[in-house]
A = this chain, B = another copy of it.
Amino acid sequence: MPSQGTLGVAVVGTGKMGADHARRLQRVISGARVTAVVDIDEERAGALADSMDGCRAYTEPVAAMAAQDVDAVLIASPGPAHEAALLEALDRDLPVLCEKPLTPDAASALRVLEAERRLGHRRIQVGFMRRYDAEYMKLERLLHSGRLGRALMLHHRHRNPSMPPWFTNEMLINDSVVHEMDVTRWLLDQEITAVTVLKPAPSSYAPEGMDDPQFVLFETESGALVDVEIFGHCGYGYQVHAEAVCERGTVRIGDESGPRLSADGRWGGAITPDYLERFADAYDRQVQAWVDATRRGEVTGPSVWDGYAAAAVCEAGVAAQREGRRVEVELIERPAFYA
């Protein structure tokens, strides 16, 4: 891996997220370029490769990873395909940025974790990009500074204007609330120990069979209480708020700002329509940080342990959601390797 040269990246998966990452690596990020794209859809991979100088298309991750000009791998394929690609990359000792989820369940996450441990050094960063959002970063620094005492509660709001028709109750946990699981663990620097899911009477705009919104409660090791409003069809925009209640102060992030327009009897401004726009800077910063660290020969950011813990909390969350009761989270003891 070149310490000063340009990092050659294979992007695995060329759907919405993969294509966006390829564009980011090619146009935004310093020190990297896309040398390979991989998709079982050969045509789609080919079209993307053609748009970038010096990039080849593959249909198999293993073939791309074997290429001379591939120094690192960004995995943005569907979740069920992650495990095989991750194990292959570990086999080749290649640095990886893996879009969340690490894998679809705790058992498979554990297999990846074991493989990385056997390898003996970290190679995988999980794509929990909120840790790279400017406001979350300031919140994390403030909480860890100790200035406000211990955090007692976190209140999260996570609202989408609408969701695709194939979105399920389980995906509300696994694909949406999983972000709050990760930032909770990161902000509080401790594990989530139990999950409860409450369901108010659903919005009449929620699809048949979906309970929307839902209200999720986490308990943590130190006894902090965390609530998450997850709302898939709020109708008006994409909104992510968080408020930390500490012993000596409270902090809120996510309030919209930007130009303040006074017109037509109202003051205010625009709300971002989706997560790609809301977290555009976070995505950029995440990938740049990964490229920078990789070129220095380091691995930073959310680890396989973080991916495994999120998968375990998701499993508890889905059970709590289905069974209408508080469910405890089961985690293996944290290996010293991930201390």
Interface string of A151-181 (1 = CB under 8 A from B): 0110100010000000000000000000000
Which of B53, B138, B225 contacts A198, CB < 8 Å?
B225
Query: How many identical chains are in the complex?
Result: 4
Is A149's beta carbon under 8 Å from chain B? yes
Complex-state Cα separation, A231 to B225, whole angstroms: 13
**CB pair B223 A201 closer than 8 Å:** yes
**CB pair B229 A155 closer than 8 Å:** yes
Interface string of A123-148 (1 = CB under 8 A from B): 00000000000110011001000001
Is A94's beta carbon under 8 Å from chain B? no
Q: How many residues of A are in contact with the other chain, CB < 8 A?
A: 75
A250 — nearest CB in chain B belongs to which residue?
B262
**CB pair A203 B259 closer than 8 Å:** no
Which of B4, B204, B255, B261 contacts A247, CB < 8 Å?
B204
**CB pair B203 A152 closer than 8 Å:** yes
Given contacts A149-B205, A236-B266, 20 further A-B contacts (CB under 8 A): A4-B53, A138-B258, A139-B259, A142-B259, A149-B203, A150-B201, A153-B200, A153-B213, A153-B229, A200-B225, A215-B227, A234-B245, A235-B263, A249-B264, A251-B259, A252-B259, A256-B267, A261-B268, A265-B273, A268-B268
